[in-house]
Amino acid sequence: MAVTLKDIARECGVSYSTVSKALKDSPLVTEATKRKIKEKAEQMNYIPNNSARSLVSNRSNTIGLIWPAVDRVAITTLASQINQALKKEGYFMVVSIEDPITAAQKFLELRFDGVIVFDEGEHTTLPTKITKNIPVVAYGVERELDYPIINVNHDLAMKQAIDALIHKGYHQVDYFGDLHTNDIRQIVKKDTFIRHCKQRRITYRMVDSGGLSEESASRAMKSFLANHDLNGGVVCGSYDITMGLLHHVKDTKQTPMIFSYDHIDQFNSIDTPIHSVGVPSHFIAQKLVDVLVDTIETNKVNRSVIQLKPQINYR
Amino acid sequence: MAVTLKDIARECGVSYSTVSKALKDSPLVTEATKRKIKEKAEQMNYIPNNSARSLVSNRSNTIGLIWPAVDRVAITTLASQINQALKKEGYFMVVSIEDPITAAQKFLELRFDGVIVFDEGEHTTLPTKITKNIPVVAYGVERELDYPIINVNHDLAMKQAIDALIHKGYHQVDYFGDLHTNDIRQIVKKDTFIRHCKQRRITYRMVDSGGLSEESASRAMKSFLANHDLNGGVVCGSYDITMGLLHHVKDTKQTPMIFSYDHIDQFNSIDTPIHSVGVPSHFIAQKLVDVLVDTIETNKVNRSVIQLKPQINYR
DNA sequence: TTGTAAGCGTTATCAA
DNA sequence: TTGATAACGCTTACAA
């Protein structure tokens, strides 16, 4: 059915290994024959069979991204930047929204060259059985894993945000984020916020967003505002949570200074100025790709945790 | 490196073709040998090589979803429902966020069994060169394509929404949506809204959301409200646009009756009651999968447009 | 510069 | 009930 190298070879009156070489621009073939073969291939609509290729070369040039919760804006931005970065390195990225183990197992069967996983804690950890068979790199937080992890230095980020608030004259700060969760990234944000407030001896309140979605954050903020004022500075745990808060910011006497996690461009198209802390997502993406490609090519994993330095972005 | 059938065969003292049969539970192998082989395979952490399988069987049991704009909440919900439905049919779903042609080409090379594409107009149309080589089904709107399309009956949906508004006593209705776009789905919504308003001889206004994102919708609504009131009923073009509107609904004298496109559960977790029109996403998902699986199995495309009947959901 | 042939890991057909 | 073997489409020594 599909056109194969043999078909092209027959048409061109050459052997199929010559076609194979010609199509990958091998110097072992005359320019003239190359041209003829390429033309014919194009015209016959030849589509290389990756299964066959991968079988002999052990390379699929495909990377799997594991992303079970396709719903948070900041992560969406990161994903598309990873896609770009991988493309530049010659890889095709494909994402699975299955649970991490299922997805990784399938990627393994498909003989992909590597996997990137958005780590969210225990339930998202890949077992050695899998990770010893394929290069893996995680975007997550610092913890014991047998594959490399890229993450933001949350501790520093919180410190930067709180210090900025103090510097602007605030004597009280609120944290608005997901307080009751297993998501390790959220837990770290919460914990470091508290720790830094204590160190600075500044008054603080913790407001539970009841989840990571904009909707839940909106509800939570509404009921919070029914009994409280927003009179200090506020730090939000994520872009979506910030958006939930913004539904109600009109209700308060005056807009407080808001710092949000996630360093993405979307903040620029909002009227209310939201300052942000975080690592620019294109930077995170590049790092993830660099580390992955490196472990694919050198074939040695380094079980390191790479901390990316956050920046403050005033708007 | 990776364990192959031959490795297992050697360990078990049988031929590798027996192992192959045993592992797929063929009746041609004794229960006893099967058990032994399966145990060994498990213990050796055997991972089937899909490339080899696909090479001989011409089946990869994988479906590619083309979804270049991973950012709209309603679509996210749909994607995960498609994932579920495909899984039930024995397929693994993988998504690409590349542009449609690139993605489809890669899916072809990877010898996936089929592709689902979220159609958004000309720029999202797959050429015959591709579609004659792999079963494709689109989620889109009615237009000339050489592969089947599933879509919502927008005409009926608009009619339902406008009629509901009229029934509730509104004499004026506003449409809030993406007015200047190439996205064929948005164009159809806009056009049918206007047509039905004219037919009903009801006053209407068109408010441009300046895009499909919540942020742009929010900005647009803000500047609209600076000079206008929201005193009629309103129909929003999508979930995200509705969310953008909600940022400002507190500013109006009273909450108008709002109908939104997209029939998803997220509306249930918002305080402001938003009624919706649309086809439940699990229904759309199931239809897409049914049609795709059917064309894969029967191996014959039907170039039909399948219109799904929308429903009104009051909240 | 081009062609021959082995081999990648499976499945499936046929023979034992 | 099991085992040999050809074939899938391709890459890559190696031979011509």
Using CB atoms within 10 Å of the CB of residue B172, give its burial: 0 to 12 exposed, 13 to 18 middle, 19+ buried: middle
Which residues of chain A form CATH 3.40.50.2300? 59-151+281-309, 154-278
pTM: 0.90
pLDDT the model gives residue A94: 97
**Residue partners of A232: CB distance under 8 A and separation at least 6:** A165, A170, A171, A172, A173, A174, A203, A204, A205, A256
What are the backbone dihedrals phi and psi of residue B23, each rounded to the nearest 5 degrees, phi first?
Answer: -70, -25
Residues B225/B248, Cβ–Cβ less than 8 Å: yes
Return the H-helix or E-strand segment holding A143: none
Nearest to A243 by CA among A222, A211, A215: A215
Say whether domain B59-151+281-309 belongs to CATH 3.40.50.2300.
yes
Q: In this complex, do B266 and A215 lie within 8 Å of one another by their Cβ atoms? A: yes
Tally: H helices and E strands in chain B: 12, 12
Higher-confidence residue of A79 and A68: namely A79
Pairing relationship of beta strands A305-308 and B233-236 according to DSSP bridges:
unpaired
Which of these ranges, A261-270, A303-312, B57-66, B127-136, has the smallest mean pLDDT? A261-270
Q: What is the mean pLDDT of residues A127-131?
A: 94
Res. A251: pLDDT tops 60: no
Mean pLDDT of B99-106: 96
Are A85 and A289 in contact by the 8 Å Cβ rule? The answer is: yes
Q: Are the C-beta atoms of A310 and A103 separated by less than 8 Å? A: no
Fold of B154-278: Rossmann fold (3.40.50)
Q: What is the CA radius of gyration of chain B?
A: 25
**Which of A77, A92, A265 should one mutate to test binding to chain B, selecting the residue with the greatest count of B CBs within 10 A?**
A92
Mean pLDDT of A251-255: 61
The Å distance, CA of B55 to C1' of D1, is: 27
As a whole number of angstroms, the distance between CA B197 and CA B100 comes to 35
CATH class of segment(s) B5-48: mainly alpha
pLDDT higher at B125 or A248: B125
User: Which 49-108 positions of B have CB less than 7 A from strand C?
Assistant: 49, 52-53, 55-57
Is residue B252 within 8 A of residue B246, CB to CB? The reply is no
- Give the mean model confidence (pLDDT) for residues B170-187: 90
Cβ of A56 near strand D (under 7 Å)? The reply is yes
A141-145, A185-189, B68-72: least confident range: B68-72
CB–CB of B97 and A95 under 8 A? yes
How large is the angle between the packed helices B239-246 and B73-88, nearest 10 degrees? 150
CA B173 to chain centroid: 29
Task: Name the CA radius of gyration of chain A, rounded.
Answer: 25
Which residues 6+ apart lie within 8 Å of A24 measured at CB?
none
Dihedral sign for Cα atoms in the order A208, A118, A92, B87: negative
Is residue B182 predicted with pLDDT exceeding 60?
A: yes
A 10 A CB-CB count for B253 gives 8
For range B233-237, the mean pLDDT: 93
Q: What are phi and psi of B313, to 5 degrees?
A: -125, 105
- Give the nucleotide nearest to A53 (CA→C1'): D10
Interchain contact, B96 vs A96, CB within 8 Å: no
Sequence ranges of chain B with CATH classification 1.10.260.40: 5-48
